[in-house]
Amino acid sequence: MAEHESLEFGKADFVLLDNVSMEEFMANLKLRFEKGRIYTYIGEVVVSVNPYRAMNIYGRDTVEQYKGRELYERPPHLFAIADAAYKAMKRRNKDTCIVISGESGAGKTEASKYIMQYIAAITNPNQRAEVERVKNMLLKSNCVLEAFGNAKTNRNDNSSRFGKYMDINFDFKGDPIGGHISNYLLEKKCVNLDFICFFFLFFLYLLTQLLRGAPDSLLRSLHIQKDPAAYNYIKVGGHIKVVHSVKNTQTYSESSHLTSVKLSLQGNLTFGVDGDVTLIENTKLVSVLRELLSTKEENVEKALLYRTVATGRDVIEKQHTEQEASYGRDALAKAMYERLFCWIVGRINDIIEVKNYDARVHGKNTVIGVLDIYGFEIFQNNSFEQFCINYCNEKLQQLFIQLVLKQEQEEYQREGIPWKHIDYFNNQIIVDLVEQQHKGIFSVLDEACMNVGKVTDEVFLQGLNGKLAKHAHYTSRKLSPTDKNLEFDRDFRIRHYAGDVVYSVVGFIDKNKDTLFQDFKRLLYNSSNTVLKAMWPEGKLSITEVTKRPLTAATLFKNSMISLVENLACKEPYYVRCIKPNDVKSPLLFEIERCRHQVEYLGLLENVRVRRAGFAYRQTYPRFLQRYKMISEFTWPNHDLPSDREAVKKLMQGCGFDHDAAYGKTKVFIRTPRTLFSLEEQRAEMVQRIVLFLQKVWRGTIARMRYRRMRAALVILQAYRRYKVKSYIREVNRRFKNVRSMKDYGRHVKWPTPPKVLRKFEEALRSIHSRWWAWTLIKGLSPEETLQVRAKVACLEALKGQRADLGLQRAWEGNYLKRDSPDTAASFTLVSSELQRKDKFMRVLFSSNVRKINRFHKAEDRAVLITDRHLYKMDPLKQYKPMKSIPLYNVTGLSVSPGKDQLVVFHTKDSRDLVVCLQGMVPANESRIGELVGTLLGHFKSAQSSHEPECSFNLSYEFFGKAGINFASDRRSGEKHGYRLHA
């Protein structure tokens, strides 16, 4: 049952009462009202008590608490019943309706607003623009209809003077896509067209909030004064009857939409008599009226003062008496009010109706209906409107009895479920009293209206007395002469389900007939205003044309009620029963007797008894299995038991709910909502597991499909790559097939562009080819040429990119003293031969004239001879006499500059560096630095000596342990550096 409320607030569900009695029912209702709990359950019926104050229980946080919850998961609330109706519609694809009933002032209209607000709030999580438009139209249409159809009564400040049934259409996803509004019996007794000049624009003015804020120029153009007191028909006895709703302080921004106006029976347009002629006293209003009705002034005056009557082919204009003119004026006011209201409803329906919906494409269009209709009324003077309103409530009560009480008991008997019969009042007898053919009150009223000659309300009452004299629920003063509460020839009493009501027959005949003269219909049909013209289509009929008698107001209303009940009966109903706690609109006062009377006529106590004796839920076996079969292993996915009944029984036993269920012939019955809630919980859990299983299977299928596609793509890719590799290899083979016979051994051959996967392979191939090409070139060289090639390679490795001219393009002679100084060549040859004999060197590596710089920074001409064992410094002026001999193994490095100079520094182990500058070259601009570096490096590499000099760029040197200066600097970067060969 209802949870999450402490017992200090009473029982949240009347079904939980210890004893089902009126005293306990009222005590629980009073306690909850005083504790601020205005909603209470009777099973799935919500009992609502008007709090007469604003309550913070309708916000977004409250919506989230009830969204998607089962009915009994949260405390009683309108949102719970609205969510239940929405879920039933969405889950079972079935139309539902919410019937809101109760007397005037019980809060039915507010309840319908909150229900629509909730339905709008829980739909469409994606907030699509079209759905939002429909929601806003559905909600805002309430304001428009209230502005025109509500009024102050002595029981309610904002009473609905019309009945409204709204269908909200939903698509298969549960999003609202449109709606339709039906209105019933707009009460017109509060309207009188004393002067249409104000009436017709008054409501439009009210609707657009002009009454309190329009500029004077606009008011003048509309012929409207800002002060409502200037108009007789909106004041009674000198008092203005403009009353704002209870929510006025909160919603005055919508002031015109929520304002009810009581129009008086007095008018500004009056008539007088001059002899036998009836005249309009305030003729200026006729011209204003002509302008507002967009017609001719003479036609307006003629319609007000004359009536055109056709007798055969003759047409007669009959002048009205003063009384007849006033009667016609009043009838026109009421008719315009009614048709304007119906036109507004039609316009709203045009906007909110479902458009471009194809059930074959979009699925079934489901509906939630919300009925907000006038409540049962008992006034001091009850006329035709109250009679129709109370008849409507009788029909709705009969529907409630049939659906909730009578059908409940009959279904148990039909299904063979043990049941204790509960007595209840069946008000079908009262419904028949009103609507039965030939005997009902409506039939007697219609017969009286169709009689020829002068028909009065007294004649109608006599007809009632004649046909209903023996009816237990009807009486009059003639039938009960001693009952002084009834007036002779005026009153009759109906014993309704809600209590006895005395009706006055005064005005029944006039209100039932179509009392508007045809002249007014033709006048308005011929208006140049297209809206007015569309409201009066029958005005196009010729004066002499014979037509059928129009249906009376009673017959139209009876037909609409029958249609409404049939519409509700085909939907799954949910009920909100509204109770008015007091007549003074106090948020603190709870009148026991006042509320007891409403509880009695609403049949709430009988509802509790039926609920206590019956079952909360019932469903046919196939539909039950369809929803819950996944819970049991015996029924999922399909059962093999003898029948669906046995399968459902097995399912309930497996879940441990067999004690709370009964099994009928075609349906399973579940006693408590908690069991149904537990079934829903288990189903939700299993649905989640089933969804996960389906997702797993589907994802596996998708993965296998992707794997097959990827594998196929990989096979294609591998084949393509093999093709590209083979194509590349074939192309390389084709291009380099004859390189052995080529003059440059394929050096000029352009390599084909390889695929990305073979780029490293191409690099390897290029390296192999380069090595083969180099080996092919050097394998035919002499030993001397081989040494020279190695020296050049060593030079290139050490100095590539560091000096502009390395002398690689010329042949390296090595021993240049003989060529550069032919005059002294003989002396050099003699000295070198003597040194070879003495030091046993094998060959001369390098020789050249140099300019030597000593430790005192003085330059002297010298010669350098480098053999494979020593470095000799010679004096060329003394027949190349050796001045210094440095073993090569003492040479630790060689430094050169990056410029064009020929400066060389030989670094030694004893730090006595030799600094020279090559000179005397023939030709003069020949660079020999590269040859010197390459020859030394080549020598050490060919000798495979571990003592191999290293190249650097530091040109610093030392003499006898003392640091020297830097000889050169890189002019590009400004850094002092050179080449240094380190051992």
One domain, residues 593 and 643? no
Q: Is 924 annotated as a binding residue?
A: no
Q: Is residue 976 part of a domain?
A: no
Query: Is it the case that residue 881 has pLDDT exceeding 80?
Result: yes
| Residue 25 exposure: Cα atoms within 13 Å on the Cβ side | 22
**725 burial via Cβ count (<10 Å: 0-12, 13-18, 19+):** middle
Q: Are residues 475 and 492 in the same domain?
A: yes
Which two tokens mark 99?
A: 């019937």
Is 6 assigned to a binding site? Answer: no
- Residue 971, pLDDT above cutoff 50: no
Most confident among 232-236, 615-619, 678-682 (mean pLDDT): 678-682
Residue 522 has pLDDT above 50, yes or no: yes
Residue 496: which domain range?
A: 396-506
Section 296-309 average pLDDT: 86
Q: Give yes or no for residue 306 having a pLDDT over 60.
A: yes
Residue 689 is assigned to a structural domain of this protein: yes
The CA-atom distances, in angstroms, between 845 and each of 59, 60, 760, 872 are: 104, 100, 41, 11
The β-bridge relationship of strands 881-887 and 617-620 is unpaired
Q: What is the pLDDT of residues 51-70, one digit of tens each?
A: 999 999 999 999 999 998 87
Residue 263 — φ and ψ, nearest 5°? -85, 135
Can you list the pairs that 959-962 forms with residues at least 24 positions away whose Cβ atoms lie under 8 Å? 959/854, 959/855, 959/911, 959/912, 959/913, 960/855, 960/911, 960/912, 961/911, 962/855
Nearest 5°: the CA angle 111, 117, 118 is 95
Q: What confidence score (pLDDT) does residue 983 get?
A: 32
Tell me 860's DSSP state.
E
Could you read off the pLDDT of 21-39 as tens digits, one per residue? 999 999 999 999 999 999 9
Ligand-binding annotation for 43, yes or no, is no
- Predicted local distance difference test score (pLDDT) of residue 926: 87
Average pLDDT over residues 665-671: 86
What 3-state DSSP class applies to 640?
Answer: coil
Q: Which amino acid is at 491?
A: D
Q: What is the pLDDT of residue 517?
A: 80
Q: What integer is the mean pLDDT of 619-646?
A: 87
CATH number at residue 477: 1.20.58.530
Residue 332 lies in a domain: no
Task: Tell me the per-residue pLDDT of 436-450, one tens digit each, with 9 for 90 and over.
Answer: 998 899 999 999 988
Tokens matching residue 675 = 């069991």
Cβ atoms 557, 183 nearer than 8 A: no
Say whether both 180 and 79 belong to one domain.
Answer: yes
Residue 760 covered by a domain: yes
Asked if residue 352 belongs to a domain, the reply is no
| Residue 526 placed within a domain | no
Cβ atoms < 10 Å from Cβ of 91: 11
Same domain, residue pair 602 and 624:
no
Three-state DSSP class for 190? coil
Mean local confidence (pLDDT), 532-540 = 86
Round to whole Å and give the CA distance between 452 and 448: 9
Q: What is the DSSP letter of 402?
A: I
CB 457 within 8 A of CB 508: yes
pTM for the complete prediction?
Answer: 0.60
SS3 sequence of 146-187: HHHHEECCCCCCCEECCEEEEEEEECCCCCEEEEEEEEECCC
Which of these three, 506, 524, 539, is where a domain ends?
506
Tell me, yes or no, whether 826 and 889 share the same domain: yes
How far apart, in whole angstroms, are the C-alpha atoms of residue 978 and residue 278?
133
Contact 372, 384 (CB under 8 A): no
893 is in an annotated binding site: no
pLDDT for 156-170, tens place per residue? 555 555 677 888 888
Our measurement of the distance from residue 699's CA atom to the centroid of its chain's CA atoms, rounded to an integer in Å, reads 27
Confidence (pLDDT) at 150? 59
- The tally of CA atoms less than 13 A away on the side-chain side of residue 527 is 23
Mean pLDDT on 707-719: 94
Give strand pairing partners of 180: 167
| Higher-pLDDT residue of 99, 5 | 99
Neighbours of 582 (CB within 10 A): 16
Q: Name the residue with tokens 């393009």.
A: 809
Q: Which residues pair with 906 in a beta bridge?
A: 894, 914
Query: Do residues 818 and 829 lie in contact, with contact meaning Cβ atoms separated by under 8 Å?
Result: yes
Per-residue pLDDT at 62: 93
Least confident of 220-234, 626-640, 652-666, 872-886: 220-234
- The residue among 616, 636, 656 that closes a domain is 616
- Residues 401 and 427 sit within 8 Å (Cβ to Cβ): yes
Q: 282 lies in a domain?
A: no
On whether both 416 and 480 belong to a single domain, the answer is yes
Supply the mean pLDDT for the chain.
Answer: 80
**What is the band of 950 on the pLDDT scale with cuts at 50, 70, 90?**
low
Say yes or no: 771 and 654 in one domain: no
Summarised one tens digit per residue, pLDDT across range 138-152 is 667 666 666 666 555
Q: Which of 130-144, 467-481, 539-553 has the highest mean pLDDT?
A: 467-481
Tell me if 102 is assigned to a ligand binding site: yes
Using the predicted structure, report yes or no on whether residue 377 has a pLDDT greater than 60. Answer: yes
Q: Are 851 and 919 in contact (CB under 8 A)?
A: yes
Averaged over 895-920, what is the pLDDT? 88
Distance CA 137, CA 185 (A): 23
SS3 percent helix, strand, coil of the chain, rounded to 5, is 45, 15, 35
Question: Does 104 appear as a known binding residue?
Answer: yes
Q: Judge whether 107 is annotated as a binding position.
A: yes
What CATH number does residue 904 fall under?
2.30.29.30
Q: Do 767 and 838 lie in a common domain? A: no
Statement to judge: residues 704 and 755 lie in one domain: no
Grade residue 80 by pLDDT with cuts at 50, 70 and 90: very high
564 vs 163: CA distance, rounded Å: 11
Q: What is the pLDDT confidence band of residue 361, given thresholds at 50, 70 and 90?
A: low
- ∠ Cα 654 655 656 (to 5°): 95
Q: Tens digit of pLDDT for each residue in 556-598?
A: 889 988 888 888 888 888 889 999 999 889 999 999 999 998 8
Give φ, ψ of 42 to 5 degrees: -125, 85
103 is an annotated ligand-binding site residue? yes
Number of structural domains the chain divides into: 5
Write the CATH number for 80.
3.40.850.10
Burial class (CB in 10 A: 0-12, 13-18, 19+), 7: exposed
Q: Is the pLDDT of residue 295 over 70?
A: yes
**Above 50 in pLDDT, residue 892?**
yes
> Are the C-beta atoms of residues 861 and 840 closer than 8 Å to each other?
no
Residues 374 and 457 both lie in one domain: no
Tokens of 895: 């430094």
Same domain, 698 and 803: no
Whether residue 317 is contained in a domain is answered as: no
In this prediction, residue 207 carries a pLDDT of 37
Final residue belonging to a domain, choices 554, 584, 616: 616
Q: Does residue 820 share a domain with residue 688? A: no
Distance between CA atoms of 742 and 748, rounded to whole angstroms? 10
Q: If DSSP codes are grouped into helix, strand and coil, which group holds residue 413?
A: helix
Q: How confident is the model at residue 10 (pLDDT cuts 50, 70, 90)?
A: confident
CA dihedral of residues 914, 920, 922, 924 (deg, nearest 10): 100
